[in-house]
């Protein structure tokens, strides 16, 4: 008789174990769904652009240190205030460089500046494709291209 | 340092903390036939590990993904329950005056892996060390392979092991990670060149060779050595991971097509040249031709799957023994999925696959949200590696593809595999932490 009871208990425990497995899976599914929804909202509110520049170092604080600049498809960079990205630094030319999004990639081209444009520490001679995470140095201002 | 309240992780870890002791309890009742809890030390130890990991992540203000640690806990939990249920003398260590059974040894490796994972997840704030020294990493990888070639010894026909005093290690497990780091670094640098420039042969566009060749040469060398070492599962895993990363980096279907054509050609050549490859394929096509010889392993596995059915035999109630030993070969490593499917049935096997899928889904999400190309490629590569490894070994267990001996991540017994898998999770956490903090900056 006790053997019978034990068998039934064991069967229940076994069922409980599998049920718990699926309960955990359901909880995971719930978390996944919540994340997807909040990600959708975040997408609508902020991250819909094609890229942004994070300002790593800016001696004159224009653009301000630590900020991010949202990018359009075509961005001119220079000391002239008519540029899309205005940079206040004595080592930057009036029309310094052009940052463009073509096809599926970012490209940067020097506009004949005096002190040159640098990608990851190397001076560029012709238009160069940028990857996300690359560092762009213009004068003494260092910026990073981010998604 | 600020705390982060990792609520989702906490909520998901809670039922897993219940799952492992319950599994131990059911196993003990079924095996002894008495209503006793049995020795719960290992279950408590396992649970404690994940609690500690959660607390460390909270205390260090980690903003990484909150679902991957619980997913690892679920996979590892099912694994440790199964390893605890199997005879403890299948494997184990007797080092430093300690005599540990199989499940205890596995728990020890989980602890080591967890420490490494936390060190990477919390400590790796800058991926420069991975990104800029990619050729050094490649050199280390080649050195690891060379060491295996010279110092390694064979287990079951594949030369994978190096003996280091008290422990034996499988350098191939570490090589897997090093290779993904190298490929991610290389592709992040040349990605735009690989997508913009193009060469054509007929209707197929092929990668521009000057940029592609260095990686191809290194990769071919690795593949060659792996095949010489007779480790077909790892070769398949490396190749699949490489193709996935190439596709993620370039978005070119033609590269994948070329890769698959090369794979089919390579597989055909290997089938013609090597006897052991032929044997594997023949056994896969018809295991019942020689059920007591070459087909022994797959036939035992198929019978075990059949016994399990939809609902399983129940924990501790399956796994037929023959003359005192289990009939499924390598039940704690290569065939652990078969053992799980026999005792927990199709339902349990589906749950296991579900947890693996969640891990892969989150890994790809981390890749999609990564801030830079290197992080994205690294996350995609690590995820592809974990996912493909699961697919290859479960496919082998269920006779979907020819069986190749690799481990089921976090479930199979094996120190090298467990630690390597934890390193990969640590890297994924580190990558997702950086995109997590970035979002916070942008928002507030």
Q: What is the DSSP letter of B35?
A: S
- Rounded CA separation B392/B279 (Å): 18
**H-only helix segments in B34-101:** 41-59, 68-85
Query: Digits of tens for pLDDT over chain B (444 positions)?
Result: 567 788 889 999 999 999 999 999 998 888 888 777 778 889 999 999 999 999 999 999 888 889 999 999 999 999 999 999 888 777 766 666 667 788 888 999 999 999 999 999 998 877 777 777 878 888 888 787 777 777 776 666 566 677 665 566 777 788 889 889 988 988 888 877 776 656 666 666 666 767 777 777 777 777 776 677 777 788 888 888 988 998 888 887 888 888 888 888 888 888 888 777 888 888 888 888 887 777 888 888 888 888 888 888 888 887 766 556 677 777 888 889 999 999 999 999 999 999 999 999 999 999 988 878 899 999 999 999 999 999 999 999 998 988 887 889 999 998 889 999 999 999 999 999 887 765 555 443
Neighbours of B193 (CB within 10 A): 16
- Using the beta-carbon criterion (under 8 Å), do B22 and A16 form an inter-chain contact? yes
Give me the residue from A42, A129, A132 closest to B196, CB to CB.
Answer: A129
- Do B157 and B233 contact (CB within 8 A), yes or no? no
Residue B32 tokens read as: 């002894």
Residue contact A25–B370, C-beta within 8 A: no
| CB interface of B with A, residues 298-317, below 8 Å | 311-312, 314-315
Chain A residues touching B367 at Cβ < 8 A: none
Residue contact A132–B15, C-beta within 8 A? no
Are B237 and B222 within 8 A, CB to CB?
Answer: no
Confidence of residue A25 (pLDDT cuts 50, 70, 90): very high
Please tell me which residue of chain A has the smallest CA distance to B367.
A147
Pick the residue from chain B with its C-alpha nearest to A135: B372
Give the span between the Cα atoms of A136 and A134, in whole angstroms. Answer: 7
First vs last Cα of chain B: how many Å apart? 17
Interface confidence, given as ipTM, is: 0.83
- Cβ of residue B61 closer than 8 Å to a chain A Cβ: no
Question: Which among B181, B68, B62 is positioned nearest to B430, based on CA atoms?
Answer: B62
DSSP letter for A64, please.
P
Kind plus residue range of the DSSP H or E element containing A53: strand A52-57
The encoded tokens of residue B297 equal 């392993």
Q: What is the pLDDT of residue B321?
A: 65
Tokens for B397, please give them.
């267990």
User: Has residue A1 got a pLDDT over 70?
Assistant: no
User: Least CB-CB distance to B351: which of A22, A35, A133?
Assistant: A22
Cα dihedral sign for B216, B409, B65, B129? negative
Neighbours of B125 (CB within 10 A): 10
Distance of CA B243 to the CA centre of its chain: 17
B346 touches A at CB < 8 Å? no
- Which pLDDT score is estimated for B443? 46
Which positions 70-99 of A are in contact with B (Cβ < 8 Å)?
none
What share of residues in chain A are helix, strand, coil (percent, to 5)? Answer: 30, 30, 40
If DSSP codes are grouped into helix, strand and coil, which group holds residue B160? strand
Q: Do B19 and A21 touch (CB under 8 A)?
A: yes
Quote the DSSP letter at residue B107.
H
Total CB pairs under 8 A between chain A and B: 117
3-state secondary structure of B108: helix
| B369, containing H or E segment | helix B336-369
Nearest to B192 among A6, A14, A131 (CB): A131
Element spanning A136, H or E: strand A135-138
Contact B33 A6 (CB under 8 A): yes
- At residue B207, the pLDDT reads 67
Q: Which residues pair with A118 in a beta bridge?
A: A123, A137
Residue A103: closest C-alpha in chain B: B196
pLDDT, tens digit, for every residue of B284-337? 888 888 877 778 888 888 888 888 888 888 888 877 665 566 777 778 888 899
Distance CA B85, CA B216 (A): 45
Q: Find out whether B327 and B300 touch, Cβ atoms under 8 Å.
A: yes
**How would you class A49 by CB atoms within 10 Å of its CB: exposed for 0-12, middle for 13-18, buried for 19 or more?**
exposed
CA-to-CA distance for B271 and B276, rounded, in angstroms? 8
* Token couple for A82: 């008519």
Residue A54 vs residues A39, A59, A71, A123, A131: alpha-carbon distances, Å: 22, 15, 11, 20, 14
Among B390, B385, B432, CA closest to B410: B390
Domain boundaries, chain B: 7-443
Q: Give dist(CA B134, CA B397) in Å, integer.
A: 35
Strands lying side by side in the sheet with A85-86: A85-86, A74-78, A97-102, A105-110, A128-130
- Sheet with B158-164: list strands edge to edge: B153-155, B158-164, B167-169
Q: What is the pLDDT of residue B444?
A: 38
Question: What's the pLDDT tens digit per position in A29-76?
Answer: 999 888 888 777 766 555 556 888 888 888 888 888 888 888 888 899
What are the C-alpha distances in Å from A95 to residues A79, A107, B115, B151, B345? 7, 16, 52, 61, 69
Look at residue B364 in the predicted model and tell me its pLDDT.
Answer: 93
Q: Which residue of A has its CA nearest to B346?
A: A18
């Amino acid at each position: 008789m006790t053997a019978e009871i034990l068998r039934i208990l064991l069967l229940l425990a076994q069922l409980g174990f599998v049920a718990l497995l699926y309960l955990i899976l359901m909880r995971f599914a719930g978390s996944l769904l919540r994340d997807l929804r909040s990600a959708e909202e975040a997408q609508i509110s902020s991250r819909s652009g094609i890229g942004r520049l994070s300002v790593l170092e800016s001696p004159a604080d224009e653009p301000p240190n630590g900020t991010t600049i949202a990018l359009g498809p075509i961005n001119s960079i220079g000391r002239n205030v008519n540029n899309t990205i205005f940079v206040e630094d004595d080592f930057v030319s009036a029309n310094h460089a052009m940052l463009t999004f073509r096809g599926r990639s970012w490209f940067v081209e020097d506009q004949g500046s005096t002190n040159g444009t640098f990608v990851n520490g190397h001076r560029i001679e012709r238009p160069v494709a940028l990857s996300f995470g690359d560092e762009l140095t213009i004068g003494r201002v260092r910026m990073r291209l981010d998604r | 340092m600020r705390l982060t309240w990792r609520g989702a992780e906490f909520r998901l870890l809670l039922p897993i903390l219940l799952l492992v002791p319950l599994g131990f309890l059911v196993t003990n009742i079924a095996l002894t036939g008495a209503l006793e809890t049995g020795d719960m030390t290992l279950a408590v130890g396992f649970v404690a590990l994940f609690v500690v990991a959660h607390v460390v992540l909270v205390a260090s203000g980690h903003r990484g993904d909150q679902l991957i640690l619980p997913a690892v806990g679920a996979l590892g939990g099912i694994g440790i329950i199964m390893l605890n249920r199997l005879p403890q003398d299948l494997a184990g260590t007797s080092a430093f005056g300690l005599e540990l059974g199989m499940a205890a040894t596995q728990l020890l490796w989980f602890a080591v892996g967890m420490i490494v994972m936390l060190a990477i997840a919390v400590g790796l704030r800058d991926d420069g060390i991975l990104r800029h020294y990619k050729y050094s990493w490649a050199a280390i990888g080649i050195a690891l392979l060379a060491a295996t070639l010279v110092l390694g010894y064979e287990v079951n026909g594949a030369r994978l092991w190096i003996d280091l005093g008290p422990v034996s290690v499988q350098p191939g497990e570490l090589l897997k990670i090093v290779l993904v780091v190298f490929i991610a670094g290389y592709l992040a640098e040349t990605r735009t060149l690989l997508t913009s420039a193009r060469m054509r042969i007929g209707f197929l566009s092929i990668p521009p060779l000057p940029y592609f060749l260095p990686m191809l040469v290194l990769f071919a060398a690795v593949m060659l050595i792996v095949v010489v070492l007779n480790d077909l599962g790892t070769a398949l895993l490396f190749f699949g991971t490489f193709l996935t990363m190439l596709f993620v980096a370039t978005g070119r279907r033609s590269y994948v097509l070329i890769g698959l054509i090369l794979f089919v050609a390579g597989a055909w050549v290997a089938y013609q040249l090597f006897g052991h490859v032929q044997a594997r394929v023949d056994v896969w096509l018809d295991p019942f031709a020689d059920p007591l010889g070459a087909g022994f392993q797959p036939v035992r596995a198929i019978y075990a799957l059949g016994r399990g059915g939809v609902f399983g035999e129940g924990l501790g109630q399956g796994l037929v023994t023959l003359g005192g030993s289990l009939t499924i070969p390598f039940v704690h490593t290569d065939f652990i999925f078969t053992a799980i499917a026999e005792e927990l049935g199709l339902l349990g096997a589906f749950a296991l696959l579900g947890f693996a899928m969640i891990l892969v889904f989150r890994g790809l999400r981390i890749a999609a949200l990564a801030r830079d190309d290197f992080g994205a490629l690294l996350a995609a590569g690590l995820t592809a590696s974990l996912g493909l490894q699961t697919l290859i070994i479960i496919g082998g267990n269920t006779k979907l593809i020819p069986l190749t001996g690799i481990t089921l991540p976090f479930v199979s017994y094996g120190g090298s595999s467990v630690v390597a898998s934890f390193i990969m999770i640590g890297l994924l956490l580190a990558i997702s932490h950086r995109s997590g903090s970035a979002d916070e900056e942008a928002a507030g």
